[in-house]
Structure 1
Amino acid sequence: MQKSTIVKSIYLFVLLGYVLCPFRLFAQDRFDVRASADTDRIRIGEQVKLELTARVDPGKLKEAGLQMVFPSLPDSFNHWEVVDRSALDTVTSAGTQEQLLRQTLTLTSFDSGRWEIPALKFEMIAASGSVDSAFSAPIGIDVNTVAVDTTKAFKPIKTIRTVAWSIWDYWLYMVIGAAVVLLALGLWWYFRRRPAKAPAPPPAPLEPAYDRTLRQLKALEAEKVWQAGNVKEYYSRLTDILRTYFEEQFGIAALEQTTAELLQNIKPVTILNQQRDKLRALLSLADLAKFAKLQPTPEEHADSMQKAVEIVEWTKPAARPAETPDAEGLKQKA
């Protein structure tokens, strides 16, 4: 008696769980799936449209935490091949809360016979991972061969036919070729008729440091700078002309050195060291005029210019003797 009571209780709980299961309720009330084909017969290689639909209530789906998953068919199954798959389309019914989910598959078959598209599984997946399924009804489709009239004689294979040549088939290539030829002719004509460039004038010979220094000293003297009361400017320009000459002629960094450093560094230059006393007197007087506000006499101004000219003249580079034919013959004999 007790065993019978236990069996009845277990049966009752199972029945209640089955009835109260949200999947079952949803599947019975709001889960309607279908699979339909646009034809029930095709010829080999023709296509058939298979439409999959599911009518659901999105409010119920959201409330139950469920997600609808359409069937996933392989590219080839049971004598059928999937040619194309459309995207999942959603249509909302007017005046109701229901939605129609729809997808169209394009199938074909290359085997003659009656082949069945099996029942397709639609799944409802809960957030917890539980899955409930609904299946569509299977669909049978006849795949027929092409009718051949065997009473007629077989025709021979036709020979290869040649297509008549037409110049218009190559018009694009001819236009491109003509454009290239015209471009080449235009470039040739342009370069042929273009006036030749006049040769650039030869660069003016550089003025020797000796000549330039004498010219600058004469220009300074002609400006009468100290006569106008600009004693400091006069001695600054005079010493700068000499220092620049020393740098170019003897390679001494005269512009960056003091008077004492310059007098010390001219010792290795014998020809310049011979004018050491004149140079010392000139630089010393210039330093006093520039930095100590000394006012030299007119005679001292003129004497400073004279000393500068004598120093430059004394250090004038020796002229290179011109080679005569006799001298070249002596060199060759040697």
Structure 2
Amino acid sequence: MIKKSYILFFVLVTFCITVGTNASAQVTSVEANIDSTELLIGSQTVLTFEWEQYPTQTVKAPIFSDTIVNFLEIVEKPTIDTTVVSDEVSKIDIKYVITSFEDTLIYIRPMPFVIDKDTIWSNPLSLKIIQPFRIDTENGDMADIKPIYNPPFDWKNFIKQTALVLLIIILLILLFILIKKYFIKRPKKEVVKITSPTMSAYDEAMNNLQDLEERKLWQNQKTKEYHTELTNILRIYIERVFDIHCMEMTSDEIFNSLSILRREQKESFTALKEVLTLADLVKFAKWTPQMGENEKSMKMAYHFIEETYPKDENTKEDSKETLEKDKK
């Protein structure tokens, strides 16, 4: 009999513990609170609903469109915060930013929260909306719209802004001048030797070639200037000796004008062609010649002048006449 009593007592204790555990595992309340019980008309405050729940529970909060109750408007979408209280319990907060534009006492009724199959109601709240100034209700006359108020012209601010704009413009101009002077490389004009009437074409060309060699342009990374001046020396020489106005001609036009030279002095013609062709590559195709090519162009220029300069005036005149006939 005593043994049966102990068994019955153990069963009752186990049942009570189980019931107590299940009861504690349920959401028992939803607490509603507001940051302030009084609010100036048009000001904002925060309305919060909070509760604790277990991971296995599902809680459905009420959905509001743009108002909580009459005259209490929602300013922005609610924020939901979840805080872990323990391994099995989480705290949920739903916060609404609210406002009102009515001078009245607003009653916030209990709100339903569906937890699994049960419904729990939040506690009620009240919020007093205060009008900070008195409205004249006795005078029913409507006031006219006031004209647009134009503030006085702020000369001090105008002078500051104008001075700042002028300073920026001056700095930009100075910056442009500095960049143009020190960083933008101006294209160098081609050096054209002035023909001296008292010096023969041969002597003039030889002197200019020697001067060009002594200046060592291509050795100082001025390859384009080197080949430009070299071809100008040959063009001036051809113009004086063969009476061909070739300073504005292309290389191909010069070759066509010297067709008689191609037939009678093929080696000299080939030397000229190699010099002008390499110079065109350097000037227009940005070709970078080897050291030997630069030296070879100078040697071929000397060779062309040595082989083509007439030994006397009669030979020179004969060369001009032959070229004229060949052109025709």
Same fold (TM over 0.5): no
If the length of structure 1 is used for normalisation, what is the TM-score? 0.43
If the length of structure 2 is used for normalisation, what is the TM-score? 0.43
Q: Which has the larger radius of gyration?
A: 1
